[in-house]
Amino acid sequence: MSTITLDTIRKVYSGNVEAVKGVSIDIADGEFIVLVGPSGCGKSTLLRMIAGLEDVTTGEIRIGDRLINDVDPADRDIAMVFQNYALYPHMSVYNNLAYGLKNRGMDKAEIDRRVKEAARILEIGDYLDRKPRALSGGQRQRVAMGRAIVREPAAFLFDEPLSNLDAKLRVQMRVEIKRLQKALKTTSVYVTHDQLEAMTLADRLVVLNGGNIEQIGAPIEVYDNP
Ligand code: ADP
Ligand code: ADP
């Protein structure tokens, strides 16, 4: 767990597109922040800069006390959850969860502990021997989240993780993420254009518009003051 500090973050893409115009947010340890706003307002650019998938033009990003502007994405102690999270079809659920940890040379006992802990939290412990094709859509989505959880990162970044799911599954997974948030209390930044998702999940909402923060506050404050 950790704080995330965004200090006057700007992003100028080539062609002089200023996608993010000096955004500052102090994210508390364990806080769940949701970024909302119209298409093109800079949500994914901001998220991708925290992940290290885009360079920051000016400004500073810290995780805890550590300045991470120039740190490799893989070394930022962050896990991302995407909408199209491909599982390895030929591997069991267990190995899907263990794969990244094995690649990092982690010892077997620690891998086993992490996989079983994630499976317990996600309630997929009974499916560890199955291949992804033998799972429902919701179970697959949980395995995908499990791959982020086993990393035991300082923070989670969610890039519209539910946008490709059908309506019923979206609601289920929204509840599931809320439950995980309570259980894990990991600092999170979540991008969505779904207002209900934003209101359900956010400790604080950040409304972006044209690369600036338009409003920031608890969901009830933001949606009471349109
Ligand atoms: P959102 O996630 O809120 O839809 P984005 O962060 O994707 O917004 O985009 C913010 C702005 O930056 C938009 O004007 C978009 O066209 C522009 N943009 C995004 N990615 C690039 C890129 N790779 N090159 C140039 N402009 C980009
Ligand atoms: P896996 O996709 O199974 O986790 P790896 O850990 O080998 O496999 O991932 C390859 C690279 O991508 C590594 O540099 C790893 O740090 C990074 N990576 C993997 N999963 C994530 C994630 N959820 N968020 C951020 N980086 C990740």
Give 102-133 pLDDT, tens digit per residue: 999 999 999 999 999 999 998 899 999 999 99
Q: What is the pLDDT of residues 145-200, one digit of tens each?
A: 999 999 999 999 999 988 888 888 888 889 989 998 998 999 999 999 888 899 99
In ligand 2, which atom is closest to the CA atom of 157? 24
Alpha-carbon distance of 66 to 7, in angstroms, equals 13
From the CA of 14, the nearest ligand is 1
Distances (CA, A) of 55 to 61, 138, 167, 203: 11, 34, 35, 27
User: Looking at the predicted structure, is the pLDDT value of residue 2 above 60?
Assistant: yes
Q: Chain centroid to CA 85: how far?
A: 12
Q: What is the pLDDT of residues 78-94, one digit of tens each?
A: 998 877 668 999 999 99
Ligand 2 pocket test, pick from 99, 102, 115 with the greatest ligand atom count within 8 Å of Cβ, gives 99
User: Looking at the predicted structure, is the pLDDT value of residue 221 above 60?
Assistant: yes
Per-residue pLDDT, 141: 87
From the CA of 149, the nearest ligand is 2
For residue 50, give the nearest of 15, 77, 29 by alpha carbon.
77
User: Looking at the predicted structure, is the pLDDT value of residue 225 above 80?
Assistant: no
The mean of the pLDDT values for the chain is: 93
For residue 177, give the nearest of 206, 165, 215, 128 by alpha carbon.
165
In ligand 1, which atom is closest to the CA atom of 48? 6
- Owner of token pair 């805890």: 64
Per-residue pLDDT, 163: 85
ipTM (interface predicted TM): 0.72
Alpha-carbon distance of 225 to 24, in angstroms, equals 21
